[in-house]
Structure formats: structure tokens, C-alpha cells
């Protein structure tokens, strides 16, 4: 089960390969993450691995199958789960299948090599033309990635058996399916049913890259365990450059997205993230000496605090804890730089890197101790008011109050306005500083700061008759 986890995304090519990850398991466990998502480790022609040429072997650049099995075993010893990244929508053009297909319809558009229209909404659009839907599903993702025809029952059975093999022979804890909504959805639903029947409790995360909650929810209702929340990703991306003033700006964007959580079967089984290997890193290419740098670093802290307390499965991209930046404007490689070896120790990190590492580590350890509260607790949010966004997570007699200042100036928190969640409590414990904070009188919150308060829920006494 992945719903109580915090996922850390690693590109093996940028993290020392499989054995490099094994050497760093202690660092990752100490950071406080609980699951590792590795981008594809299969044989391929690229460093990113999404053009697979052998679904049953590990690329020698990263290690061997025995190394991978050892990684899973040792990760489990450290309390870490392993999520395998794979793609069934397409393979690499150098896969032996392409030059000698097992059957004539093994690939879509093998003769024309037509590229997809990248409009995934056609697969749920009630008005979509057949032409558009065919181009979405049958089109190639890139000219080096032939589109596989999952409607072929032999190919689908191959992938079901392949998945079985990796689960049973390595002990992986989950799968992340690349380009999930580009594949034939009926075939993917069949694959999911087979995997669930053979491996109860095994979870699949699917890449569902449409920035709209209804689309993401439709994937979950269609059988996908954990869709990726690109709508929330987009909201964080806009909010970091805005103040929380108009109803559509700043942290109002987060509030507005969460209003649609009723669409999901279970919003706590949706993966949320600030960035990943396909998009700009959250702090982009900011100059650490620029006037905007302090605000961006505060915004990163605030956004991580929100990400880690929402009813979602959070994913953190490797290097976020040590302020790795980059944008895809230059190239995808600019957001996929090697993790700096020096940053594995406090002595090797700069002052700012250590500050971010300490901050994120503190929240991650708190969240690990309170994983059930975040995974199963109720959520109550208030419309952002005068720059402040407030919500409460509650489970039984455990509660946390999240108070976020979404502006570049100090904001005032007035407990009386939030009596619905503060109740009769006189104080709460700040999980970062450890200090007790009074809930009886207003207090000021620094610019771009999030305060997470542990609040003990007081039980009401009743007279029995």
C-alpha cells in the first residue's frame, strides 16, 4: 500500500546507477522519505530509459538484475519501498520487435509512423471524433518510440506476464506506468484487473498529464489506483509567482483545485508533486544571489509544507532537499543533472542547502510519524482571507492546523475566525520549532511562511442516563 508514503523520484543515470542508489539508502531513509520511484532501468538506447528495448533485463549502464534485487531487499531493510517505472504504450525503435514484429498488428501506424496529437482528453471526451481519438491512442509518442497495439491479446498477455515476473522475482512494491492515458484504456483496465487479482494490494501509479481534475478523476474511476495530479502541479507552479489576493491567484489556486476532490473515488490516493523529470524544477534557474532568491526559497519551503499535509500521496524530485534547480527551456537534461555527491553530508552542503535539508527532513519525519492522519484524516479548508490560507487535518483525537501566508509581506492570523477548527484549544505545537503557539490571540506570520500546528482534539464529555 502506498497511500501513507512519501515518494522520492530518482533518475538512476543521475544517481550513480542501481548500486549508487544502494549506497545512498541510509541517506534517503534518514531524510524521511518512504518510497523510491526509479525512472526506467530496462535496456534502452537513451539515458532516460523510456525507449525500452528489453522488458526482461536491466540496462548494463545501471547494473544487473541481481543488483536490482539487492536494491529492493536492502531498501526494505531501510523501511523504503521501490516503485518500478515502465511503459507499455510504446517501446524503443531498436527493440527487436520493430524489425521483426511477432504479428502484423503488433504496432500502430507502423507504416506511416504518425505522431500522436498529444490531446489525451479525447479518450474521455463524449463528443470526440474517431479520427482524433485514433490519433491520440495510435500515434507514436516520438519518432524513436513506435506505438504498441495493446488491443492485440498476445501483446497484452505478454505485458501481464512480464509484470508478474518483476513483482514475483524482485519484490517491487508498486509500478508507475508512463504515458498511461495514451494507451488503449480498455486494455490497460484489463491489465489492472489481472494484476490486482494476482497481487492484492499492489498499486499502480499512472501518468495522466492533463491539468484538469475531472480528467484525473476519470482515470481513477476507470480502475487506475493512483493518477498523477497535474492540475495541482499547475496550481503550485502559478502560485509561486503570485501573491494570494484575487480569488484566482496565489494560494487560492490550491484551494480552488481541492474544491473538486469530490470527483475522486479517493483523493488521498492521488499523487501530488511540485516538479519532476519532465518539467521545470520548482526553483527553476534562479540566481542564488538575485533579489528574488530569498522569496523563492521561502516559497519552496511553504509549498513543500502544503504538499506534505494535503490528502494526497506526495512525490519529491531528487535534489529538491539541496536546492537543485533547472528549466527545460535549455533542455530536459538541465532538470536532470547528477545529484551532487558532496550534498550527502552536512559538511559538504552550503548554508542554504543545509537549511532546506533540515527543514524538509523535519517535516518528513513528522509526517512519517503521522502518516495515518494525512492518509485517512478529514480535511476542512477555509477560503484564503487577507493572504492567509488555513486548513485542518483531523483523525480521531489527532489534528494538525496548517496556516499559510501566501504573500510577500507579513500577515495576521486571527484565531476567532477559525474557531470551527481551533475549538477550545488554547495552544498548538509548531512542528518545525517545537514551540507552543497560543490560539487565544492573533499572531503575525512571516512572508511566504507556513505554520503547521499539532493540536490535541478535546473530547466532549457526555452525561449518560
**Model-level pTM?**
0.96
Asked if the model's pLDDT at residue 184 lies above 70, the reply is: yes
Asked if the model's pLDDT at residue 464 lies above 60, the reply is: no
Report the share of the chain in percent with pLDDT over 90. 94
Residue pLDDT, tens place only, 377-400: 999 999 999 999 999 999 998 999
Asked if the model's pLDDT at residue 83 lies above 50, the reply is: yes
Report the share of the chain in percent with pLDDT over 70. 98
- For 290, other C-beta atoms within 10 Å of its C-beta total 10
Where residue 289 falls among pLDDT bands split at 50, 70, 90? Answer: confident
Q: What is the pLDDT of residue 446?
A: 97
Residue pLDDT, tens place only, 245-263: 999 999 999 999 999 999 9
Asked if the model's pLDDT at residue 349 lies above 60, the reply is: yes
Asked if the model's pLDDT at residue 461 lies above 70, the reply is: no
Region 201-218 average pLDDT: 98
CA distances from 342 to 324, 345, 349, 384, 390 (A): 13, 6, 7, 40, 38
Region 29-55 average pLDDT: 97
- Whole-number Å distance between alpha carbons of 265 and 268: 9
Angle at which helix 230-239 crosses helix 213-221, to 10 degrees, equals 160
Q: What is the pLDDT of residue 463?
A: 42
Where residue 131 falls among pLDDT bands split at 50, 70, 90? Answer: very high
Measure the CA angle with vertex 273, ends 267 and 274; round to 5°.
140
Q: What is the pLDDT of residue 294?
A: 93
Q: What is the pLDDT of residue 425?
A: 81
Of residues 294, 270, 252, the one with CA closest to residue 389: 252
DSSP SS3 for 309? coil
Asked if the model's pLDDT at residue 458 lies above 80, the reply is: no
Region 411-438 average pLDDT: 92
As a whole number of angstroms, the longest Cα–Cα distance in the chain is 81
Q: What is the pLDDT of residue 292?
A: 87
- Whole-number Å distance between alpha carbons of 179 and 86: 9
Asked if the model's pLDDT at residue 152 lies above 90, the reply is: yes
In angstroms, the first-to-last Cα distance of the chain is 43
- Whole-number Å distance between alpha carbons of 193 and 421: 41
Where residue 462 falls among pLDDT bands split at 50, 70, 90? Answer: very low
- Whole-number Å distance between alpha carbons of 452 and 389: 12
Catalytic residue positions, numbered: 178, 207
DSSP SS3 for 321? helix
Region 28-55 average pLDDT: 97
CA distances from 365 to 127, 359, 400 (A): 47, 10, 15
Q: Which residues, 6+ apart, have CB-to-CB distance to 155 below 8 Å? A: 102, 103, 106, 148, 149
- Whole-number Å distance between alpha carbons of 223 and 197: 13
Q: What is the pLDDT of residue 459?
A: 56
Region 64-93 average pLDDT: 98
Where residue 460 falls among pLDDT bands split at 50, 70, 90? Answer: very low
Where residue 330 falls among pLDDT bands split at 50, 70, 90? Answer: confident
CB 220 within 8 A of CB 188: no
Region 426-448 average pLDDT: 95
Q: What is the pLDDT of residue 424?
A: 77
Where residue 465 falls among pLDDT bands split at 50, 70, 90? Answer: very low
DSSP SS3 for 233? helix
User: Following DSSP, what letter does each residue of 322-382 receive, concatenated?
Assistant: GT----TTT-GGGGSPPPPGGGGSTTTS-HHHHHHHHHHHHHHHHHHHTHHHHHH-EEEEE
Q: Which residues, 6+ apart, have CB-to-CB distance to 173 below 8 Å? A: 2, 35, 81, 82, 83, 202, 203
Q: Classify residue 228 by its DSSP letter.
A: B
Region 159-163 average pLDDT: 98
User: Following DSSP, what letter does each residue of 40-87 receive, concatenated?
Assistant: P-EEESSSS--SEEEEEEE-TTT--HHHHHHHHHHHHHTT-EEEEEE-
Region 295-302 average pLDDT: 97
Mean pLDDT of the chain: 96
Region 265-286 average pLDDT: 97
Q: Which residues, 6+ apart, have CB-to-CB distance to 458 below 8 Å? A: 423, 424, 425
User: Which cell numbers hold the place of 325?
Assistant: 534547480
CA distances from 64 to 17, 57, 417 (A): 10, 8, 59
Q: Residue 338 — left, alpha, or beta (φ > 0 → left; ψ -120 to 50 → alpha)?
A: beta
CA distances from 144 to 88, 363, 378 (A): 15, 42, 46
Amino acid at each position: 500500500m502506498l497511500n501513507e508514503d512519501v515518494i522520492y523520484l530518482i533518475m538512476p543515470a543521475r544517481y550513480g546507477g542501481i548500486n549508487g542508489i544502494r549506497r545512498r539508502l541510509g541517506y534517503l531513509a534518514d531524510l524521511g522519505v518512504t518510497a523510491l520511484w526509479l525512472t526506467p532501468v530496462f535496456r534502452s538506447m537513451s539515458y532516460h530509459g523510456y525507449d525500452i528495448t528489453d522488458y526482461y533485463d536491466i540496462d548494463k549502464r545501471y547494473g544487473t538484475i541481481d543488483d536490482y534485487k539487492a536494491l529492493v531487499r536492502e531498501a526494505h531493510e531501510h523501511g523504503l519501498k521501490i516503485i518500478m517505472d515502465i511503459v507499455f504504450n510504446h517501446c524503443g525503435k531498436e527493440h527487436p520487435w520493430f524489425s521483426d514484429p511477432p504479428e502484423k498488428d503488433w504496432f500502430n501506424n507502423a507504416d506511416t509512423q504518425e505522431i500522436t496529437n498529444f490531446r489525451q482528453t479525447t479518450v474521455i471526451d463524449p463528443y470526440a471524433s474517431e479520427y482524433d481519438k485514433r490519433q491520440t491512442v495510435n500515434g507514436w509518442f516520438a519518432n524513436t518510440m513506435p506505438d504498441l497495439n495493446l488491443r492485440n491479446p498476445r501483446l497484452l498477455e505478454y505485458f501481464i506476464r512480464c509484470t508478474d515476473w518483476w513483482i514475483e522475482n524482485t519484490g517491487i512494491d508498486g509500478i508507475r506506468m508512463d504515458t498511461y492515458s495514451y494507451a488503449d484504456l480498455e486494455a490497460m483496465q484489463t491489465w489492472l484487473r489481472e494484476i490486482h487479482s494476482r497481487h492484492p494490494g499492489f498499486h499502480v501509479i499512472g501518468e495522466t498529464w492533463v491539468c484538469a481534475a475531472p480528467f484525473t478523476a476519470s482515470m481513477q474511476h476507470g480502475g487506475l489506483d493512483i493518477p498523477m495530479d497535474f492540475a495541482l502541479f499547475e496550481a503550485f507552479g502559478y502560485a509561486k509567482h503570485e501573491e494570494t489576493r484575487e480569488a484566482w491567484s496565489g494560494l487560492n489556486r490550491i484551494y480552488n483545485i481541492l474544491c473538486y476532490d469530490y470527483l475522486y473515488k479517493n483523493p488521498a490516493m492521488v499523487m501530488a508533486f511540485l516538479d519532476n523529470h519532465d518539467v521545470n524544477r520548482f526553483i527553476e534557474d534562479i540566481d542564488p544571489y538575485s533579489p528574488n532568491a530569498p522569496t523563492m526559497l521561502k516559497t519552496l519551503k511553504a509549498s513543500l509544507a502544503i504538499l506534505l499535509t494535503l490528502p494526497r500521496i506526495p512525490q519529491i524530485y531528487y535534489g529538491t532537499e539541496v536546492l537543485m534547480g533547472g528549466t527545460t527551456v535549455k533542455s530536459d537534461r538541465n532538470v536532470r543533472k547528477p545529484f551532487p555527491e558532496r550534498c550527502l553530508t552536512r559538511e559538504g552542503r552550503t548554508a542554504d542547502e543545509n537549511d532546506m535539508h533540515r527543514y524538509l527532513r523535519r517535516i518528513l519525519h513528522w509526517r512519517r510519524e503521522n502518516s495515518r492522519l494525512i492518509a485517512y484524516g478529514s480535511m476542512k479548508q477555509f477560503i484564503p482571507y487577507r493572504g492567509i490560507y488555513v486548513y485542518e487535518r483531523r483523525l480521531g483525537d489527532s489534528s494538525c492546523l496548517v496556516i499559510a501566508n501566501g504573500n510577500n509581506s507579513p500577515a495576521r492570523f486571527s484565531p476567532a475566525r477559525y474557531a470551527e477548527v481551533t475549538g477550545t484549544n488554547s495552544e498548538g505545537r509548531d512542528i518545525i520549532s517545537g514551540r507552543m503557539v497560543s490560539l487565544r490571540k492573533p499572531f503575525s506570520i512571516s512572508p511566504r511562511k507556513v505554520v503547521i500546528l499539532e493540536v490535541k482534539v478535546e473530547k466532549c464529555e457526555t452525561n449518560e442516563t
